[in-house]
Copies of this chain bind each other. A is one copy, B any other.
Amino acid sequence: MSAVYESDAQRTPIASGRERYLCHTPNLMMVVVDFNDGPTAQPDPPHSHPHEQVTYVAEGEVLFFIDQVGYKLKVGDMIAVPANVPHTVQLLTQRVRLVDTFNPIRADFLK
Contacts and interface: CB of A to CB of B under 8 A. Distances in A.
Contact of A103 (B2, B27, B73, B75): B27
Contacts of A101: 28, 30, 54, 101
Given A25-B52, A26-B52, A54-B28, A2 B99 contact: no
Interface in A55-78: 56, 58, 64, 66, 69, 71, 73-78
A77 B28 contact: no
A78 B25 contact: no
The prevalent SS among residues of A at the interface is strand
Contact of A71 (B3, B22, B29): B3
A4 interface: yes
Contact of A102 (B3, B28, B29): B28
Interface of A: 2-7, 22-30, 32, 52-54, 56, 58, 64, 66, 69, 71, 73-83, 99, 101-103
16 contacts: A2-B69, A2-B79, A2-B80, A3-B73, A4-B79, A5-B73, A6-B74, A6-B76, A23-B80, A24-B80, A25-B82, A27-B52, A28-B28, A28-B52, A32-B56, A101-B101
